[in-house]
Amino acid sequence: MTDQDTDANTPTAADPFWRKPLEALSPTEWESLCDGCGRCCLVKLEDEDTRDTYYTDVACKLLDAGTCRCSDYIHRQTQVPDCIRLTPEAVRAINWLPPTCAYRLVREGRDLPWWHPLVSGRPETVVEAGVSVRGKIAAHETEVPPENLQGYIVTWPNRVPKKARGPKRKA
């Protein structure tokens, strides 16, 4: 095989595992794609007419606001029946995954950003880059009546924070 026979977009054995198709990831690789930002654990509202999705700054009752991780990940779907289990099929179908989500980035054939723990080697970079929901949660869903959720709609979860864009610059 010559260099001309190799497609530049075809993953090689030397490439990071996240360049493989979603279906080819092992369970451990799949779980490690989650950066722990907590954005997907924010309550979302869907407009029944337009099907548009709106984020709120209200968190799932199971989201630990300090760690931005599920407090009962193993049993989450029992405790929160509408919790979405991400699978390759779900990642392709869901229109509300944040633009920073590694599952979405891999689905789109994009690389992981500098702040993702698999790239940086440190889970703290998600917070440093402003991607995490830490410090941005107004309430948990048990504290807000469903009829009041519209008052908590925010746009930041559907944006890439300025600090997260591009390579990290040294001071």
Taking only the tens place, the pLDDT of each residue in 49-100 is: 999 999 999 999 999 999 999 999 999 999 999 999 999 999 999 999 999 9
Q: Could you tell me the end-to-end alpha-carbon distance of the chain, in angstroms, rounded to an integer?
A: 45
* Domain range summary for the chain, segments of one domain joined by +: 31-158
pTM: 0.85
Long-range pairs for 64-71 at CB < 8 Å and ≥24 separation?
65/133, 65/134, 65/137, 65/140, 66/134, 67/36, 68/36, 68/37, 68/38, 68/41, 68/126, 68/132, 68/133, 68/134, 69/36, 69/38, 70/41
pLDDT tens, position by position, 35-52: 999 999 999 999 999 999
